[in-house]
Amino acid sequence: MHYNNDYGMPKNKIRDLLIPFITLVIILIASVSVISYGRGYRLNITQKAINPTGLIAATSDPTGAQVLIDGNLRTATNNTINVDPGWYTITIQKEGFQTWEKRLRVQGEVVTRADAYLFPTNPSLSTLSTNGIVNPVLSPDGTKLAYVIPESATSTASANLVRRAGIWIFDLAERPLGLNRDARQIVKNGIADFSDTVLTWSPDSEQILAAVAHPITKSVSYYLLESGRLNESPRLVTDIAALVSDWEIMTAQRETELLTGMPGVLAETIKTNMQILSFAPDETKILYQASVSATLPDIIVPALIGSNSIEQQRKIENGSVYVYDIKEDRNYLIGTDSDLGLIPEPTPTIARRQPAAVSPVRFRTYVRPLPVQWLPTSRHLLLLTKERIEAMDYDATNRKTIYAGPFWDGFMVPWMNASRVLILTTLNPAAGTPPNLYAVNLR
């Protein structure tokens, strides 16, 4: 047996103690290295130090786009890139699509997201109706579009067109295998001429109120229609005030439910400073018009690490339009009411026909759709102008034109999966026929 001369301990005993100790040290070093690497720490040979780096998580729809950082190609989406802390210009580009670009701040040990929804350079058009439609109205939940196929001189000469005259529903939900349901008729002309009716959806998107004016007496009759079936005997509404009251209560309850789950300070801020135009589909952001000029208080203190680094605007001006991000407590200016045309106006079809029937319900669904709407991604907005349809990120960056051809001003509707935007237009204005429904294909 061999002994250590200094301590009198056997050498094999020392070896037995050192092996587990060294193993433990190696495991600890490896664990710390893996954790540090995952948090973004990298060995800087030049500085002879281990420095923290930040992560850029670059994603795009569609995937496979080039990712450039300050003009230098680094990778393709979807991927994560390590960079030193600082400000960077992130560019995501793909052939056939408009380029996405944003200047973002990267912090050490923090993931910065660069999420790009790329819009096509030259989107195609597809026809969704052929008989001419008027007065299209989107349901509050965004899943259905109601419209009228009117009777015309052509209809009287065709029994098939006569049968099609009435109110129709088009489902915007995508079916399996990419198939879509055909439009379905929910009421036919007969008991009343619905060619010139004004349509209003119920707050739960289950019913439609049709206001019909008598052509001679100009008296108005109101019919309540079920949106899920053919109404062979439409229900005539005699107490319209009671129905309006019920629907207004339903709308108020819905907004109250959305505000109830928010912190008290935030809920009070929304009530006192904002006229809500719409919530994002995932209910994490609010599109609103400032009802007063004020400064929004900080709700989340300190600010969240890794939140959107685009400059926000907490000083709001009465009448201007903003997007408030509930999760990150950040506020972005979209434009003024005059820029965006938020004053409700009748649709061109209603104004041209000048019907005696006007919806008694004080919802936006009986006037033209808002010129600013959410895409179902909840991260993008659609903007309607007199000459084009544009899209941009919710923080007012990356504003792009997605359609600039002829279309009926005042109408655009996003498809539920954001793959299309519906417009109303006619490709032969000289024919004098009602416009038809077309899809601007984004995917």
Nearest-CA neighbor of 223 among 233, 207, 237, 213? 237
What are the tens digits of pLDDT across the range 166-206?
999 999 877 665 555 688 999 998 888 888 888 999 999 99
Burial class for 96, CB neighbours closer than 10 Å (0-12, 13-18, 19+): exposed
Decide if 69 contacts 56 (C-beta within 8 A): yes
Residues forming a β-bridge with 97: 120
d(CA 166, CA 197): 9
Runs of H (alpha helix) within 9-152: 11-38
Q: Angle CA(256)–CA(259)–CA(262) in degrees, nearest 5?
A: 155
Query: Residues of 196-232 as b/e, b for ≥16 C-beta within 10 angstroms?
Result: bbbbbbbbebebbbbbbbeeeeeebbbbbbebeeebe
Query: Using 50, 70 and 90 to split pLDDT, how confident is the model at 394?
Result: very high
Helices 264-273 and 240-260, interaxial angle, to 10°? 140
Decide if 383 contacts 389 (C-beta within 8 A): yes
Query: Using 50, 70 and 90 to split pLDDT, how confident is the model at 42?
Result: low
d(CA 114, CA 91): 9
What are the tens digits of pLDDT across the range 57-109?
999 999 999 999 999 999 999 999 999 999 999 999 999 999 999 999 999 88
Decide if 102 contacts 310 (C-beta within 8 A): yes
Name the amino acid, one letter, at 88. Answer: Y
List Cβ neighbours of 330 (8 Å cut-off, separation of 6 or more). 307, 308, 312, 324, 395
Query: Which top CATH class is 49-117?
Result: mainly beta
What are the tens digits of pLDDT across the range 217-262?
778 899 999 999 999 999 999 999 899 889 988 888 888 888 887 8
Residues forming a β-bridge with 401: 390
Q: Which helix (H) or strand (E) holds 272?
A: helix 264-273
Query: Using 50, 70 and 90 to split pLDDT, how confident is the model at 354?
Result: very low
d(CA 312, CA 316): 11
Provide the token pair at 398. 């990356």
What are the tens digits of pLDDT across the range 401-442?
999 888 876 788 999 889 999 999 887 777 777 889 999 999
What percentage of the chain carries pLDDT values higher than 90? 44
pTM over 0.95: no
d(CA 102, CA 54): 17
List Cβ neighbours of 363 (8 Å cut-off, separation of 6 or more). 200, 201, 203, 247, 251
12 three-state secondary structure? helix
Task: Give the torsion sign (CA, 338, 340, 346, 351).
Answer: positive
d(CA 209, CA 186): 12
Domain boundaries, the chain: 11-38, 49-117, 124-252+338-441
The residue length of the chain stands at 443
